[in-house]
Amino acid sequence: MLQYTSMALFVLVFKLIAPIFIIVFLGAFLRYRGMLTDRFVTTASQLTFQTALPALVFLKIAKAPLHELATFNLIWAALMALALYSLGLLLLSRHYRPNQAVFIQAGFRSNFGIIGLSIAWLLWGNIGLSQAALLLAFISPLYNVGSIVVFNYYNPQANGPSYWQSFVKTPMLWGALLGITFAYYDWGISPVAEQTLQYLGALALPLALIGIGATCTKETILSLSWVHGVVCGLKLIVAPALAVGIGIALGLSGLDLGVLFLLMATPTAVASFIVAQSLNGDIKLASSLVVMTTILSSITLPIGITLLVYGGWISLPGF
C-alpha cells in the first residue's frame, strides 16, 4: 500500500468501482432518450427486491463458510450507527416541514442492497459479497419498518401496511435465513437449482443499477434546493464518518469495517422513492434526493475507501 500516493490510490479505487456508476449513468442516458419510464423504475425495483436479490442473497450465504461471515461486533456497530444517526435525523427533520417523512427516509435508507453489494463484490470478491448480503438481511427489514413508521407518523395521508407485515414480508430476510440454514447444516444445492439461482442473481445488480439511473430526469435536476445539500452532506459524509468511528471503537477492521462503511456511505435507495409514491409523499423531492446522492457518491465513495485504505483500517486484494 505504501507504494501508492493518496491520489494514485484514489484513482485505482475509482477505477475499481467505476463500472457500477457507468451502468447507473447508462440508465440515466436511456431515460433521457425516452426508453425508460417511472413505471420501469418501479417494476425493475420490485423484480429486483422481490425475486432476484433474495436469490442472490440466499446463494451467496448458502455457499459461504459461516465462520468467515458477519461477526456480532459488525452487526452491533451497524445497529448503533443506524440508531444514533436516525435519532439525529429525527431532530433535524423539524426544520423541514411538511416533508419530514421524505427527509428522514432519504437520510437513513441506503442503497446498500445494490450499490453496496456491488462494491463489496468488486473490492473483496465472493466473501465480500457474502458478508454484505448477510448484513443486508439484518438491516433490510429495519429499513422497511422504519419507512412505514416514519410515513405513518409524519404523513397523515399515508395508509401503509402494519409494522409486522412490513417486517415479515421482506424477501431478503427469508432468503438469508434459508441461506444460513443451508450453510449451517452444509446442505448441498442441486446443479439445476444452483444454475437457476445464479441466473436470477446475475439479473439483480445490473437491472437495479439501470433503474437507479432511470430516476434521473431533467425535472429532478431542476428541482434542486438547499434541502438536497443538507441530505447529501448527512448521507454521504456524516453517516459514514459516524459509522467508521463506532466501528473502530468496537475493534472492527478489514472487511468488517469496509462493509460497515458501505452500509452507511451508499446513496439513498430507489425504494425510498417507491415508498413515497405509494404513501402519498413528495415524489419529486424523493426522486431528486435519490439522483443527487447517487451522483455525488461516485466521488465520496472512492474518497472514503481511499482514506480507509491509506489509513490502514481496511485492505484490498492487490494493494
In a domain, 316, yes or no: no
Q: Write out the three cell numbers for 145.
A: 419498518
| Percent of residues, the chain, with pLDDT higher than 90 | 16
Q: Is 167 exposed, middle or buried (0-12, 13-18, 19+ CB in 10 A)?
A: middle
Distance CA 115, CA 68 (A): 22
| pLDDT of the residue at 190 | 87
Q: Write out the three cell numbers for 183.
A: 450453510
- Which residue is associated with the grid cell 436511456? 30
Classify 125 in phi/psi space as left (phi over 0), alpha (psi -120 to 50) or beta: left
In a domain, 315, yes or no: no
Handedness of CA 137, 138, 143, 149 (dihedral sign): positive
Report residue 93: phi and psi, to 5°. Answer: -65, -20
pTM confidence score: 0.80
- Which residue is associated with the grid cell 446463494? 59
In a domain, 238, yes or no: yes
In a domain, 184, yes or no: yes
Handedness of CA 132, 138, 144, 149 (dihedral sign): negative
In a domain, 53, yes or no: yes
pLDDT (average), residues 217-242:
83
Which range of residues forms the domain containing residue 289?
A: 6-310
In a domain, 75, yes or no: yes
| pLDDT of the residue at 37 | 82
Rounded alpha-carbon distances, angstroms, from residue 244 to 3, 52, 68, 263, 316: 25, 30, 21, 10, 17
Q: Cβ(145)–Cβ(167) under 8 Å?
A: yes
In a domain, 239, yes or no: yes
The enclosing domain of 145 has a CATH number of 1.20.1530.20
Distance CA 300, CA 297 (A): 5
* Terminal Cα distance for the chain, rounded: 5
Q: Which residues pair with 268 in a beta bridge?
A: 110
- What 3-state class would DSSP assign to 110? strand
| pLDDT of the residue at 304 | 93
Domain count, the chain: 1
Q: Residue 282's pLDDT band (boundaries 50, 70, 90)?
A: low
Q: Cβ(27)–Cβ(210) under 8 Å?
A: yes
| Cis previous bond, 98, omega within 30 | yes
Highest mean pLDDT among 72-76, 95-99, 179-183, 209-213: 72-76
Give residue-wise pLDDT tens across range 104-142. Answer: 888 888 888 888 888 898 888 888 888 888 888 778 777
| DSSP alpha helix (H) spans, the chain | 6-32, 38-47, 53-62, 72-92, 100-108, 117-154, 163-168, 171-184, 191-214, 218-222, 226-233, 239-249, 254-265, 270-278, 283-310
Lowest model confidence (mean pLDDT) among 49-58, 274-283, 294-303? 274-283
In a domain, 71, yes or no: yes
pLDDT at residue 245 tops 60: yes
User: How many CB atoms sit inside 10 A of residue 305's CB?
Assistant: 24
DSSP string, 257-268: HHHHHHHHHS-B
pLDDT at residue 167 tops 80: no
